Homo-oligomer: A and B are copies of this chain.
Amino acid sequence: MARTGRPREFDRDKAIDAATALFWAQGYEPTSLTQLKASMGHISPASFYAAFGSKEALFREVVQHYLATYGQVMAPLWDESLPPREAIERTLRGSARMQAARTHPTGCLVVSGASNCSPENEPVQALLAAERQRTRAGIKACVERAIARNELKASPSTDILPNILATFFHGMTCEARDGMTVDTLDAAITSLLTLWDINTVKPLKNRQKNTENTGVRL
């Protein structure tokens, strides 16, 4: 698209960054347009609406930006080239490190970005709820893949495992916001994952060598 006319003076990407930090720290509703404009370099209302459309449209853009950057700590969930347990572990540890980092607001924007909402902003709440549901589906898929690959036993205990992981995962936001450190979260994850390990299919001794006997049904 050939751009003509006077170019905008403020950096749109930096403006999105600033808006992300604000929405992340305070949530959708408490963040006012005045704050947003100020954080973008005191731009005018006209510039704001010309660039972003509305507060809600900006928020949706911020969420997309968040998912494409910080949110990528959860990418392992969808990477089928990874062993399922490693996918889960990488996601949990990466998310812990990200959420507890001091270089940006703590916690997860998707979890806490619109947790206090009046009815008129229900669409905003639904946007994040859908994203959380996507996360749950990803965790569940990993567990089911592990069962299919005969790495986890199929049992009531593994049926519920995705829910435990999701609950813990979403709880990290509260803990990180209340000051829990990366190291503590990391230790908790290590311990939590024993819930995975006690449900693993016990390998026979020298089981690795059996991989040579493809076609042989044990």
Contacts and interface: CB of A to CB of B under 8 A. Distances in A.
Chain A contact residues (Cβ within 8 angstroms of B): what range?
Answer: 35 or more
Contact of A132 (B157, B174, B198): B174
Interface string A162-181: 01101111111111011010
Interface string A183-199: 01101101110110010
A115 B115 contact: yes
Q: Which of the listed residues A129, A161, A175 has the most CB atoms from chain B within 10 Å of its own CB? A: A175
B191 A195 contact: yes
A118 B33 CA distance: 13
Interface in A84-117: 111-117
Interface stretch (A24-32, A54-62, A71-79): A24-32
Interface of A: 26-32, 111-119, 121, 129, 132-133, 156-157, 159-161, 163-164, 166-175, 177-178, 180, 184-185, 187-188, 190-192, 194-195, 198
29 contacts: A26-B116, A26-B117, A26-B118, A27-B117, A29-B116, A30-B116, A30-B117, A114-B116, A115-B177, A129-B178, A133-B178, A157-B194, A159-B187, A160-B190, A160-B191, A161-B191, A163-B175, A163-B180, A163-B187, A164-B188, A167-B172, A167-B174, A167-B175, A168-B168, A170-B175, A191-B195, A192-B195, A194-B195, A195-B195
